[in-house]
Amino acid sequence: MNDDLQKRIQAALANPQNMGELTGADAVGTVGNADCGEMLRLWVKFKEQNGKKVIDRATFQSFGCETAIAVASLATELIRGKTAEEALALKTEELAGELGPLPPMKIHCAQLVEGALRSALEPEKVEDKPASPAKAPTLLDSFSRPKDGTVKLTFLDEEK
Ligand code: FES
């Protein structure tokens, strides 16, 4: 990754926007990438504005990948005030906003954000249907509570 992109990612991470669960959300979408193990959940709340239903606020939770967190931070700001259709029309590289073009190995990080947005806004088109906003567990819950037959992830203490 080039130094400029790394600096822009670090700048976005220094003041991440819209992190955390959004209580009272109207929609929630969750996606995971089996290759890198990253998961991202996105909550969306709508409001009426000039007779249109637009996104009032969107928040996210993510573990691990800095690029996905940086893109989610920028994308959740970018989609405010847009209708669901306008938000869905944004291309992957547009969601990454001021990060600019991502290198090929990092494009899937932005696609994770795009996937969570699609999962929230058009769940009928996404195979893994999201839980309803009221019942959606936090990502930490998802990691901590294994279903039968699944592996429980245990986080290691930070190296000293
Ligand atoms: Fe997989 Fe970023 S490395 S989402």
Distance 106 CA to ligand 1 centre (A): 7
Contacts of 24 (CB under 8 A, 6+ apart): 45, 133
C-alpha–C-alpha distance, residues 152 and 94, integer Å: 35
Q: What are the sequence ranges of the domains in the chain?
A: 3-130
Ligand 1 atom nearest the C-alpha of 66 is 2
Q: Which of 16-25, 38-47, 92-101, 138-147 has the lowest mean pLDDT?
A: 138-147
Is residue 154 very low, low, confident or very high in pLDDT (cuts 50, 70, 90)? low
Instruction: Please count the residues of the chain.
Output: 160
Distance 108 CA to ligand 1 centre (A): 6
Nearest residue by C-alpha to atom 1 in ligand 1 = 36
Q: What residues are annotated to the active site?
A: 36, 109
| Distance, C-alpha 10 to centroid of its chain | 17
**For residue range 47-80, what is the model confidence (pLDDT) as tens digits?**
999 999 999 999 999 976 999 999 999 999 999 9
CATH 3.90.1010.10 fits 3-130, yes or no: yes
Nearest residue by C-alpha to atom 2 in ligand 1 = 109
In testing the pocket of ligand 1, which one of 13, 67, 92, 105 has its CB within 8 Å of the most ligand atoms? 67
Nearest residue by C-alpha to atom 4 in ligand 1 = 109
Starting at the edge strand that comes first in sequence, how are the strands of the sheet with 27-32 ordered? Answer: 27-32, 39-49, 52-62
Query: Is residue 108 in contact with ligand 1, taking CB distance under 6 Å?
Result: yes
Is residue 160 very low, low, confident or very high in pLDDT (cuts 50, 70, 90)? very low
Query: What separation in angstroms does the CA of 10 have from each of 14, 59, 70, 84, 147?
Result: 6, 19, 8, 29, 35
> Closest by alpha carbon to 73, among 102, 110, 104, 31?
110
